[in-house]
Amino acid sequence: MPPVYGTLQVLNLKGMLRLAVKIILVLVLLTVFVTVFYFGYPVSLKNHSISIKSSDHEFAELKKLQSFGSRAKAYCNQRGFNTSVCFFADMSLAAGKNRFFVYSLEKDLILSSGLVAHGSCNTSFLEHPKFSNTPGSGCSSPGRYKVSLKYSGRFGTAYKLYGLDSSNSNAFKRNIVLHSYYLVPDKEVDPLPVCNSLGCAMVSEKYLKHLSQTIDSSRKPILLWMFDQQ
């Protein structure tokens, strides 16, 4: 007859192993779920194209952009900018929602949209944007920008931004640029927010590739208009 104590030890060890395996499986599944929810499935660039659905929120956003679109088109005509397309960044929307828009000035339609981070204002994290034009503030600055020189910097491909209004006139001096960051997801994560920048217009790596196609093929400068209007 085998010792009872030894048998209990073996059974206890097997039970602990089974429990450990279950815990590992739960952690793996949880990691996969969070990753898919936050960063999204791998998608092609064409999936950034959107159609406006018949919801009150999306209709209201389109109407708002159309009101900015008429003013943007007049401004682009006066300044010799691209009059076919421009970029809007509606910072009144939640950070986890698509609030960077490629907008057709010819058809008054949203061509694509993506997430864009706002500045932390040198805090550990800022859920809702605050604005400043002060050098070193780490904040976003509302106003119109000229999307300019393409270069390769700390975060890869980026575009210099020239502030065209008094609210963002220090943008070039502050090194405010349009760039990507790997922690910005490819799809909406609201009600979760996204990470902060230090004042730059920071989008996902995939969405910047999409934007680059428009910027690089344009013979004239493209207007980026960042605003915080409800």
Q: Per the structure block, which two tokens stand in for 34?
A: 């969070």
Render pLDDT for 131-167 as a digit per residue (tens, 0 to 9): 999 999 999 999 999 999 999 999 999 999 999 999 9
Name the pairing type of β-strands 143-153 and 109-114: unpaired
- Cβ-Cβ contacts under 8 Å for 170 (sequence gap 6 or more): 133, 134, 135, 141, 163
pLDDT in tens, 16-75: 777 776 677 667 655 544 444 444 433 333 444 433 344 778 888 999 999 999 999 999
Tokens of 49: 């194209």
pLDDT at 51: 37
Q: Do both 7 and 56 map to the same domain? A: no
Q: Are 225 and 145 in contact (CB under 8 A)?
A: yes
User: What is the count of structural domains for the chain?
Assistant: 2
9 plus 95 within the same structural domain = no
93 lies in the same domain as 52: yes
Domain coverage including residue 147: 45-227
- Please check whether residues 11 and 82 belong to one and the same domain: no
Q: What is the pLDDT of residues 83-120, one digit of tens each?
A: 999 999 999 999 999 999 999 999 999 999 999 999 99
- Say what the pLDDT of residue 204 is: 98
What is the pLDDT at residue 154?
93
Q: Are residues 28 and 80 in the same domain?
A: no
- Residue 183 and residue 142 in one domain: yes
Given a contact cutoff of 8 angstroms between Cβ atoms, the answer to whether 115 and 183 are in contact is no
Q: Give all strands (DSSP E) within the chain, no chain letters.
A: 85-90, 100-104, 109-114, 143-153, 156-163, 177-180, 201-203, 222-227
CATH number of the domain at 206, please. Answer: 2.40.440.10
